[in-house]
Structure formats: C-alpha cells, structure tokens
C-alpha cells in the first residue's frame, strides 16, 4: 500500500439509533452505557455507536464483526439506506448526512454501487435488465446502457447469459450479476454487504479471488462487510473490527492478528485463529529456484530473471542455507566483471524452522520485505514464507476445514 493515500470516505462520530426516541438513547450513550443497558432502559436499539474511521481511495476496507455487531447498520448509513442519527459521513469531503432527498438520489446514483448478501436481483427482469437497472434509473439511453451492461457482464465472466432470468442461474452466478449490476454504473465506491456469505465455500473462495483480481484492474474503493475472519484477512487492505455497535480495532490483518487491541479482539481472533496451530511448514511456498555457491553472478541473475524474482536464496552443495543475493548486487557484480557471488552474498532474515507457529512469523515479515527462509534441523533450506503466502495459507487452511465440515 502506498503511503500517500487520499481519504475517500471519512466517518466521524457516526451513531445510529433504531427506535422513535433516539434522544434518550443518545443521552445514555454519552454516559457510556452499553447497547444492552440502553435497550433495557429505553427500548431503543443502538445500531452504531460513535464510530469514526477513514476509507482510503482504492483500498478494500473490511468491516468485520459477528451478527448484531452493527456492521450491516453501519454500511447502510454510508449511502443512507439507514438515516444516521448523529455524526458526519464525508465522501470526497462532502457531508452526505446534510443532503436533501434530491441530492441524496444523485449521490447514490453517481458514487455508489451496492452488492447484497442474498443477491437482491429483480426476479422479473432478465440478467441484462438487472445489470442495466442503475443506468435505467439515471435515464441513460437504451443503446448506451445495453453496451455498458455487456461490458460489466464481461468483467464478471457472464457474457452470453444476458437474456436468462436470475432463477436460472446458480448462486455464484447470481452474485456475479449482483456485482455486474453494481459495476455497470461505474461507481467510485462499492458497498458489499456480506456479499459472499450465502455462497458455498468453494464458490466463495473463487469469488474472493476474482474480486481481488477485478480490484487490481479497476481500483475501486470497496467497503466489504463480513463475519468471517479468513475472508477479512484475504480481502482486506485494512480491517475494522466491530462489537456491540462500537469499533474495537482498526488495522491491517497482521496488526489485528499479532497485536489485538482489546481482550475481545484477542478472543475473536483466537477462536478462528489458526496462527497458533498452523506452522511455517504448512504455509511456506516451495522455492522455484535457488542459487548455488558455485554459481556466478550471471547465472543467479538468469535464475532470478526466469522466475521473475528480485532476490535468490543461496545454498551450498548439500542444500544448507548460506545467504542471499539481490538482483542489483548481481548486476553490479556482472558489470565489475566478477566471476563469483561470494562478494555479494548477504545474510538473510533469521531463518525459522518448519515447526515455528505462524504467529511468530508476523514480526520478521513486518520488518523486512524479504521472504523468511524455512530451514530444517540440519540447516537445509525447505522453503520460504512471504506475506502473501502467510495470509493465503491461513485463509486456505480454514477454508478447507469448513469445506470438510460442510461435506
């Protein structure tokens, strides 16, 4: 993530009370009462309590929490499907809480696309007509919207299904239509409310991967709601963890796993957390290529080039880890006319054993962009752990568990 990120959505002191006497609840809330107490005393339900956070341009921000934590109420405040009781929601610096009805419709049309848990496709419309809905509402000419709908359907891989009806499609395909419907209006912000939760685990995994690929191309700002930590870790650039209408912690997946801000987060993370049982051996990647001490700088450069790497682990003849070579150093050595890589050999990040619990890998990975080598008791190189493989490994492990449970 680049450091100089601009804020797309700024949420400040947002509170949502459900009920007809919000004032009473606000008063108690200000005194620090919790959701349960407020409900007992005033019959008002606190959906969101004094929540503040930023969503950066182009990131996937995951709002995570168990059911009743307020995450769905919160996402519905962002486009005012829920009318906020207090607070500000600034989108591109404009407070949308103050907008009148007409301006609100305009903002919803221009800035937002929304994807729903149970797809919410219109059963009486064809796939094309569903995808066209947002454009139709805006009064876009039929030819133009047909073309845009087709583009959106192509993006989600559903070309050729235009004239079908939603009930003829599988769940996964229906949610692609949901996604296409949101993308068709070319929104700045995608709101995804438990978008993949109703899908079975295998399809779900596919959809997560596709969303990431799509996001790499489209660079939308995405607010994604889930109750699933693995999904949050896989998708989220940053995660907002909610409990009882309040935010418990905001941070990257690594931060939340390795440095839980509260006892609740720790418990939440522990329940689903595989980092304590999962080992480096389980999440490491095999090495696609290694350098040998006998290799010259040209050889290691060529190996790096083939595998598209910018550094290479170097081993001795019996595969014991000796160090690593970076591409810049190797290029320099070639230019200096050196024949051996001994001079450019650098120490690696401290190696770990295959039995090291995954939770102990966060610190070295956070400190250095270089992969962490995994070596066995004899010092032989077995593989490497990079940030991506770590998170992916976590997600995969939990997902395969849930597949077995489901089967």
Q: Between 65 and 84, how does the x/- string for binding to another protein read (CB under 8 A)?
A: -----------x--x-x---
**Is 106 a residue that touches another protein (CB under 8 A)?**
yes
Min CB(160)–another protein separation in Å: 21
Residue closer to another protein, measured from CB, 175 or 372: 175
Report in angstroms the alpha-carbon separations of 384 from 201, 290, 292. Answer: 28, 11, 17
Choose the binding region for another protein from 32-40, 104-112, 262-270, 301-309 (rule: CB under 8 A). Answer: 104-112
- Tokens coding 393: 């490994």
Q: What is the distance between the alpha carbons of residues 268 and 57, in angstroms, rounded to a whole number?
A: 28
- Under rule CB under 8 A, which residues in 146-175 are in contact with another protein? 165, 167
User: Does residue 133 interact with another protein by CB under 8 A?
Assistant: yes
Find all residues with CB under 8 Å of 405, minimum gap 6, and list them: none
Q: Does 137 bind another protein (CB under 8 A)?
A: yes
CB of 291 to another protein, least distance (A): 54
Distance CA 124, CA 44 (A): 37
Tell me whether residue 75 or residue 374 sits nearer to another protein (CB atom): 75
**Nearest approach, Cβ of 68 to another protein (angstroms)?**
18
For 19-73, list the strands marked E by DSSP: 45-56, 60-64
Burial category of 378 from C-beta neighbours within 10 Å (exposed 0-12, middle 13-18, buried 19 and up):
exposed
Specify the residue, 53 or 116, whose C-beta has the smaller distance to another protein. Answer: 116
Sequence-ordered list of residues with C-beta below 8 angstroms from that of 231, at least 6 positions apart, any chain:
62, 196, 204, 208, 395
| Residue 120 binding another protein, by CB under 8 A | yes
The CA distance from 358 to 279, in Å, is 5
Helix, strand, or coil (residue 357): strand
Using the rule CB under 8 A, which residue among 85, 117, 208, 275 binds another protein? 117
Distance, C-alpha 106 to centroid of its chain: 28
Whether the Cβ atoms of residue 313 and residue 348 lie closer than 8 Å to each other: yes
With binding defined as CB under 8 A, does residue 30 bind another protein? no
Report the C-alpha gap between 394 and 197 in whole angstroms: 18
Among candidates 125, 198, 223, 207, which has minimal Cα distance to 167?
Answer: 125
Task: Decide: 287 and 351 in contact? Cβ < 8 Å.
Answer: no
Instruction: Choose between 136 and 360: whose C-beta lies nearer to another protein.
Output: 136
Of 122 and 346, CB closest to another protein: 122
CB of 78 to another protein, least distance (A): 10
Closest separation between CB of residue 148 and another protein, Å? Answer: 14
Residues 180-209 as x/- pattern, contact with another protein by CB under 8 A: -----x-----x------------------
Quote the CA–CA distance of 225 and 235 in Å, as a whole number.
Answer: 11
- Interface with another protein, residue 220, by CB under 8 A: no
CB contact at 8 A, 358 and 352:
no
From 86-94, 117-125, 257-265, 387-395, span contacting another protein (CB under 8 A): 117-125
Chosen residue from 16, 71, 108, 204 binding another protein by CB under 8 A: 108
The verdict on 18 binding another protein (CB under 8 A) reads no
User: Shortest distance, CB of residue 91 to another protein, whole angstroms?
Assistant: 14
Q: State CA 129 to chain mean position distance.
A: 30
Which chain residues interact with another protein by CB under 8 A?
76, 79, 81, 105-109, 112-114, 116-118, 120, 122-124, 133-134, 136-138, 165, 167, 185, 191
């Amino acid at each position: 993530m680049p450091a100089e990120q601009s804020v797309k959505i700024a949420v400040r002191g947002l509170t949502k009370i459900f009920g007809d006497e919000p004032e009473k609840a606000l008063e108690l809330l200000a005194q620090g009462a919790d959701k349960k107490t407020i409900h007992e005393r005033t019959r008002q339900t606190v959906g969101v309590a004094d929540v503040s956070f930023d969503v950066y341009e182009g990131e996937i921000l995951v709002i995570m929490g168990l059911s009743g934590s307020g995450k769905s109420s919160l996402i519905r405040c962002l486009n005012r499907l829920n009318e906020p009781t207090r607070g500000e929601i600034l989108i591109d610096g404009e407070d949308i809480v103050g907008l009148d009805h007409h301006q609100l419709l305009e903002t919803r049309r221009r800035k937002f696309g929304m994807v729903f848990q149970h797809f919410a496709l219109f059963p009486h419309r064809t796939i094309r007509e569903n995808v066209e809905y947002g454009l139709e509402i805006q009064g876009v000419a039929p030819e133009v919207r047909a073309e845009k709908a087709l583009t959106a359907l192509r993006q989600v891989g559903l070309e050729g299904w235009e004239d079908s009806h939603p009930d003829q499609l599988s769940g996964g395909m229906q949610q692609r239509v949901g996604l296409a419907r949101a993308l068709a209006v070319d929104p700045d912000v995608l709101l995804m409310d438990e978008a993949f939760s109703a899908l079975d685990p295998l399809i779900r995994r596919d959809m997560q991967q596709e969303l990431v690929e799509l996001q790499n191309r489209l660079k939308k700002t995405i607010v994604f709601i889930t109750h699933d930590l693995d999904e949050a870790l896989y998708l989220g650039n940053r995660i907002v963890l909610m409990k009882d209408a309040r935010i418990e912690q905001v941070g990257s997946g690594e931060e939340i796993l390795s440095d839980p801000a509260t006892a609740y987060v720790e418990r939440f993370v522990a329940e689903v957390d595989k980092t304590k049982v999962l080992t480096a051996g389980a999440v490491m990647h095999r090495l696609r290529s290694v350098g040998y001490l006998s290799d010259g700088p040209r050889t290691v450069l060529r190996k790096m080039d083939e595998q598209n790497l910018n550094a290479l682990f170097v081993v001795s003849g019996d595969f014991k880890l000796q160090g690593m070579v970076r591409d810049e150093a190797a290029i320099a050595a070639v230019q200096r006319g050196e024949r051996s890589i001994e001079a450019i050999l650098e120490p690696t990040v401290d190696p770990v054993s295959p039995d090291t619990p995954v939770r102990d890998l966060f610190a070295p990975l956070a400190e250095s962009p270089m992969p962490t080598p995994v070596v066995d008791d004899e010092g032989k190189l077995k593989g490497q752990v990079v940030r991506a493989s770590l998170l992916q490994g976590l997600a995969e492990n939990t997902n395969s568990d849930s597949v077995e449970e489901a089967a």
